[in-house]
A = this chain, B = another copy of it.
């Protein structure tokens, strides 16, 4: 657990938002607090769904253990690390929970390690479907409830706040096609709207910030140099030795340009243009082609929201979003909320970057030329 203190919740985002230096450790404590509060609310509203008091107490211990441990499988700089090492953090979680000292800790909490693991990485056929949604569901999980607020607090982005108390107070266990799901009471729609908006704004302002994305792109190369063998961290003891701080120290010895750029915050790429909507796809492609032709393909990087591992879209196509209880039965949130309907669906955000040293002209000229190139294409249409 203490290792999570050395993994930053937002990875490299501190290079764009200096105060975003908070760790996964504090997030784990926060998710634990949020989830406990949410669980108590669900039980208070429908105790009959949680069995007798002994069984309800077991489920409370279980959901708390799972939330505390839900991120222990993360390596340094999480998602970048995963793609270099070709292993998802969820896969690590099972190994870690099996370690003697972790197993002993779980046993002390008087819960079954198999149940804990199932809540964190389990599939929909879980014995405790409502708890699984609280821990690792796609929309109303305590993980997300905590990280949105926490990331907003530590980046200072005021739009990421939402009314957590009111949202949690409106959580309900509903029955839907014979299965228990976590939904909300009709009175909680405004709080849910604020939650969906906060999520949207945090993606726009923070998670997809061009400075952060650029350094994450660079980090990928750095990690590949650091671990040329993708199985280097497969042994669990070796994996546990690594954290963000050790990677940053290792950069000190590394002499590659990328390593120096990361350590000294040298912005190797500049943002040339960005695109937000489906109708912009053609423009995006035209701009990308023009930049590649002018500066060379190796000097242009196209980023898209789909490359983020966080899932922005709140409900795509037929998939349900959040169930809302009401006089005529549960309905999808998009039907009772205009704003949720508008903010749901696939996102088409894209950014185009160009290397600042693409040609022999000065940096400022390259950036200005790239932006003008895109501006002309945009003006034409």
Nearest-neighbor residue (CB-CB) of A342 within chain B: B342
> Given contacts A249-B249, A338-B276, is CB(A375)–CB(B158) below 8 Å?
no
Interface residue? A248 (CB, 8 A): yes
**Contact check: which of B6, B205, B246, B249 meets A190 at CB < 8 Å?**
B205
Interface residue? A29 (CB, 8 A): yes
Interface residue? A178 (CB, 8 A): no
The CA-CA distance from A193 to B79 in the complex, in Å, is: 28
**Contact check: which of B25, B193, B252, B276 meets A201 at CB < 8 Å?**
B193
Interface residue? A213 (CB, 8 A): no
Inside 8 A of A264's CB, which chain B residues have their CB? 2
Main secondary structure of the interface of A (DSSP, over half): helix
Interface residue? A176 (CB, 8 A): no
**Contact check: which of B22, B162, B337 meets A21 at CB < 8 Å?**
B22
Inside 8 A of A349's CB, which chain B residues have their CB? 338
**Contact check: which of B25, B163, B276, B341 meets A158 at CB < 8 Å?**
B163
The CA-CA distance from A376 to B341 in the complex, in Å, is: 22
> Given contacts A19-B26, A26-B21, A326-B375, is CB(A347)–CB(B338) below 8 Å?
yes
> Given contacts A26-B18, A248-B6, A378-B328, is CB(A201)–CB(B194) below 8 Å?
yes
The CA-CA distance from A29 to B264 in the complex, in Å, is: 16
Nearest-neighbor residue (CB-CB) of A376 within chain B: B328
> Given contacts A264-B2, A371-B327, is CB(A162)–CB(B159) below 8 Å?
yes
CB distance from A252 to the nearest CB of B (A): 7
Nearest-neighbor residue (CB-CB) of A15 within chain B: B5
Interface residue? A49 (CB, 8 A): no
Q: Tell me the residues in window 180-202 of chain A with beta carbons closer than 8 Å to chain B beta carbons.
A: 190, 193-194, 197, 200-201
CB distance from A239 to the nearest CB of B (A): 13
Question: For this complex, into which size category does the number of interface residues on chain A fall?
Answer: 35 or more
Interface string of A40-60 (1 = CB under 8 A from B): 000000000000000000000
Q: Tell me the residues in window 20-74 of chain A with beta carbons closer than 8 Å to chain B beta carbons.
A: 21-23, 25-26, 29
Once the chains bind, are B204 and A339 in contact (CB under 8 Å)? yes
Once the chains bind, are B276 and A200 in contact (CB under 8 Å)? no
Once the chains bind, are B205 and A201 in contact (CB under 8 Å)? no
The CA-CA distance from A163 to B157 in the complex, in Å, is: 8
Inside 8 A of A201's CB, which chain B residues have their CB? 190, 193-194, 197, 339
Inside 8 A of A248's CB, which chain B residues have their CB? 6, 245
CB distance from A267 to the nearest CB of B (A): 13
Once the chains bind, are B249 and A336 in contact (CB under 8 Å)? no
Given contacts A2-B265, A194-B201, A245-B248, 19 further A-B contacts (CB under 8 A): A5-B18, A5-B21, A18-B26, A19-B26, A159-B190, A159-B194, A190-B204, A193-B201, A200-B339, A241-B252, A245-B245, A246-B249, A249-B249, A276-B336, A277-B338, A328-B376, A328-B379, A329-B379, A339-B343
A-B contact list, 27 entries, CB within 8 Å:
A2-B264, A2-B265, A5-B18, A5-B21, A6-B248, A18-B25, A18-B29, A158-B163, A158-B194, A159-B163, A159-B194, A194-B201, A197-B197, A200-B339, A201-B339, A204-B339, A245-B245, A245-B249, A276-B338, A327-B372, A327-B374, A328-B376, A328-B378, A328-B379, A329-B379, A338-B347, A338-B349
What are the 5 closest A-B residue pairs judged by CB atoms, nearest first?
A328-B375, A245-B245, A276-B338, A342-B342, A159-B194
